[in-house]
Structures are given as structure tokens and as C-alpha cells.
Amino acid sequence: MIFSRLPILNLLHLFAPTSSTYFYPTVQTSLLEHILVDTQGAHASDFIAAITPCTNYVNGAQTLGRITSAQWIRVAFHDFVTANITAGTGGLDASIGFETLRGENSGAAMNDSMGFFRPRVSSKIATADFIALSVVMSVGNCGGPQIPLRGGRVDATEGGATGVPAPDSSLADTLGFFGGAGFNQVDSIGLTACGHTMGNVHHEGFPIVVGPDAVSENNTGGGIHFDSTVATFDTLVVHEYLNGTGNAGGPLVTSFNVSSRSDLRLYESDNNATMTSLANQGNGFFDTCVNLFQRMLDTVPTGVVLSDVIEPMPLKPINATLDFDNDGNLIFTGYIRTLATGTSAAPQSLNLTTSLDKQGLLLTPESETGSSIFGSTTFFPFSTQISNPEAFTSFNVSAPGISSQSFPVQSGAFVVPSLTTVTTIHNTTATVAFSVATRQGYVGRMMKRDNSTAPSVSIQAPVAQVGTLGPRIETFDDVAVTSVAQKAGYYVWEGSVTVEDWTLGPLSISVLNENGDEVDVAMVD
């Protein structure tokens, strides 16, 4: 089993300059789950701040009339729809970052979004995964349903095919673009309606759709809403279109320029049968949108394997890390997060035992709690000394009303958080000075040096690339390390790497086994 350590974003102020932790079940899944679940209050990710409130525009003045939550949905669609499912190319692969100058991708949404994702991308979470995550967050946190999220997308290294429906696209062309991506006529109408229940069309980006009369002091971009609840995911866009009320389906239905009424042409292509069906579904409209959005987000190039659906974890270790204290003792510290859903209450205490100590620790919660659409979160800090690391193979968490859960650990080799730092110059050059500990007698992919064993270390860093705001991942293999000390039955090694053109995202430090697989991973920024 591979064990991963990763800092929770926005928790770094609570710990040493570097904080590495066992993550369950994987680094990627755990990090994505953190962003989904830890949205407000204690230990929250900052991701949701971009769409809080749902009318917010994270990249500029609110008077522009732009809405980040709607932008994110648009970006995902534009990235997806140029897929060719027959050839197995395109789909959600972040190629949109290379395509922002194309006329079919007009407007600020593409680079606004890519710029927001840029400092968050790492070797574990690709830009394309953030595009998918952004749709899930926008819909689920703005009144809509929860779309199942998977990780594991792979970013493109160049622009993909053209073929995004435009306001002046003919009906045949529009259906052809959708068809290439695997969506038939009914799917195309449904996905358009689901995507256009939030957001605007702006004169600034689409003067052939929206006239200059839409521009005002408090709407300087000249945006006209698709429906009367511009930042709420609901069925109103369908009902207003069919009834001719409110915004009547939005400017792609009502534009002064008849040739720019692409939504109207699409909706009327089956005599409004699909739109009428959507209106009659009631809350079933949400189920339809979940299905269509999930298909969109999970359309990826051939060879890309997505993870299982990421589910909120009722009991989750956070920053559960091995480290050395000031006296050189090996310690195991971190948090246990509980998630209480519905009317259930958080436990008053937890019991943590390790494979070394069956009596265990009684954990009491921090006073600050968190919240999200999934429920309330409570955090229980812990710290205990590890006297026999070779026998430290697992820990167990239990509490009244909560199923006991055991988590495996490995203590053969780990990145030392308190002895690892990142220093930066002008926010573009990063020097990672790290320490790695290997247990005496631990066997892995190593070489003998001074009667001790030197670990194989790899560092991966997100760096800038030409043509897109999306980073590429640069890998430094077989980083040189030097033996510097012995602590608590471990050899301690030091090394460093300097990264140019860093994009501020987390850097990974990996200890590798004899097969080149990750034994331990720390991510630092």
C-alpha cells in the first residue's frame, strides 16, 4: 500500500512551514474531498470563497456583472464540447487554456478561471480536475444538486480541435458539435438548459447578441441574465422560456439579432418537446442535469482512468503526521475530523489507539467547527510519542455512535515536516530544502552510504508554460541527499531543489521504493 502525506490547503498557518500528513485513501481523493466538504468555518478551503455569494465575481469589480459560478460552468462546457468520442480525443482535459484567443471562446471567463485554478494545480490535482470540481461546487452550492465528482484527469499539452457552438451557429452545426462529443438532440437541449439556469451574456464579449443599451453604471459589462434568478441553480430558465415571462430564456433566445438566437433554434428544433418535458419533471430536472453534467465532466481522452466517485468521509484523519519534536523524539500528531449529517450531532470525544498502545488517547474537540452542504465538521487534535516505530503499523479511531475505523500507516521512511521549508524569490523561484528520515534497517530502493541507507527522492513542481495559464508539471528525479543526523532510530537526510517559473502551487516531495513507487509524499508551498 502507498501512503501519502499532504498539507490541507489553508492549514499551513497552524503548523510548521511544511506540514505533511497521511491521506486516505489517496492524496488526490482526500484533497478533493477536503475542498468539497470543508467549505466554511474551521480549517476551510478557500476555494468556495470565489463563489460566495453565488453572485460573486472573483476577478474584478462586482459592477462588471460577471458571475464566477456561471463562468466555471461555461469553461467546462467549452473544454468538453470539442471532444471526439469516436477518436477518443478531447473532452475535459484543460486544453481550453491554449484556446482562449479563439473567437469561439470569446469573453473573460476562460482566463479568469484558468488564473484562479493556476496557483492550486499540483502533480496530484490537474487543472482539468479543478475545472470539473468548479462545476460541482457551483451547482451544488448555489441551490442545485450534488454532481458526482471523480479525479484523475490529465491535462493536455496543446490546444485541441475547434467546434464550440456559437450564438450564430446554425442548428445543424450546433447539433454536429454536440454529437461529436456524444450528445444527441435531447441531450443537447437538456445540457444547454441546465447550463443556462445561471449567468449572463454580456455586450462586452458578445455585441452581436446584446446591444449597448444593456450597459449601465452597475452593469458595466452589459450583461443580460438567462433567467430571473441569475445565480441560483433552478428550473426557472425553462419555465420563463416556455411562458414568455421574466427573461424568456435569455438573450440567446430573445436577442435583437435573429441570427444570434442559438438557444431558440435548439429549443425549437423538436417543437419544444424536450423543454416541455424538462418543465414537467419538477425536481426531476435536477436528476436530468446531474446525469448530463456528469457525462460532460467524465468525458476524457482515451487512456485516462478516473477515480471512484469521491464521497464525504464521516471520519477522516487530517495532518496525521510523523515528525521529530525538539528533543529528537518521534511523534505522531494531527487531527481527526468528524462529519455530522442531517440531525446527527458530533461526538463529545474520540478515542484514538495505535498498534503500540491499546489504551489510547481521549481526544476532545476544538471549539471552532465547520459547515458545508454536507453537514457540520468537528476537529479533534492529537499528539503522541512513538517509541517503537517498526511496530507502528496502524491507528484506530472510535466513539459512541460512530463506527470504529482503522487506518494503516508506514513508518519506514517519511519526509520530515519540521525540517522542510520552501523559500521564494519574487514568487516565481522556489527553493525546496527538505529532510527525509529512513528507519534503520528499512529496506527499499536505496543504496548503502556510511552504513546507512539513502532514500530515492523525487520532487514535482507546477511551472509556467507557454500558451496557457495552466501549469505543466516538472519532475526532478533522483535528487541528491546527504546524511546529516540520527534521531529516534532513523537516519536523517537533507537535500534541496530550486524551481524556476513556479506557479505557486503545491510542490510534491516523494520517497520512492525499489520499484520507483511512492512510499511517502509531502506537498509543500
Q: Quote the pTM value.
A: 0.94
Identify the CATH assignment for 414-524 out of 1.10.3470, 2.60.40, 1.10.1740, 1.10.150. 2.60.40
Identify the CATH assignment for 55-297 out of 3.20.20.140, 3.30.950.10, 1.10.275.10, 1.10.520.10. 1.10.520.10
User: pLDDT higher for 430 or 516?
Assistant: 430
Q: Which residue has the cell 484523475?
A: 152
The values of phi and psi at residue 489, to 5°, are 85, 15
Tens of pLDDT, residue by residue over 244-281, are: 999 999 999 999 999 999 999 999 999 999 999 999 99
Extents of the domains making up the chain: 15-26+313-404, 55-297, 414-524
Q: How confident is the model at residue 298 (pLDDT cuts 50, 70, 90)?
A: very high
Q: How confident is the model at residue 7 (pLDDT cuts 50, 70, 90)?
A: very low
| The dihedral sign for the CA sequence 216, 221, 224, 225 | negative
The three three-digit cell numbers of residue 112, written as one number: 479568469
Q: Which residues does 263 contact at the CB level (< 8 Å), separation at least 6?
A: 192, 196, 249, 250, 252, 253
Q: How confident is the model at residue 452 (pLDDT cuts 50, 70, 90)?
A: low
Of all residues in the chain, the percent with pLDDT exceeding 70 is 94
Determine the pLDDT at residue 110.
97
Kindly report the number of other CB atoms within 10 A of residue 368's CB atom: 11
Tens of pLDDT, residue by residue over 332-380, are: 999 999 999 988 888 999 999 999 987 889 999 999 999 999 999 999 9
Q: Report how far apart, in Å, the C-alpha atoms of 127 and of each of 123, 264, 462 are.
A: 10, 33, 11
Determine the pLDDT at residue 15.
32
3-state secondary structure of 182: coil
Contact yes or no for 497/514 (Cβ under 8 A): no
Give the C-alpha separation, 302 to 299, whole Å: 9
Q: How confident is the model at residue 14 (pLDDT cuts 50, 70, 90)?
A: very low
Of all residues in the chain, the percent with pLDDT exceeding 90 is 86
Tens of pLDDT, residue by residue over 388-419, are: 999 999 999 999 878 889 999 999 999 999 99
Contact yes or no for 409/3 (Cβ under 8 A): yes
Determine the pLDDT at residue 514.
80
CA atoms within 13 A on the CB side of 216: 6
Please say if the pLDDT value at position 517 is more than 90.
no
Question: If you ran DSSP here, which 8-state letter would residue 276 be given?
Answer: H
Greatest Cα-to-Cα distance within the chain, rounded to the nearest angstrom: 81
Contact yes or no for 226/200 (Cβ under 8 A): yes
First vs last Cα of the chain: how many Å apart?
26
Determine the pLDDT at residue 443.
54
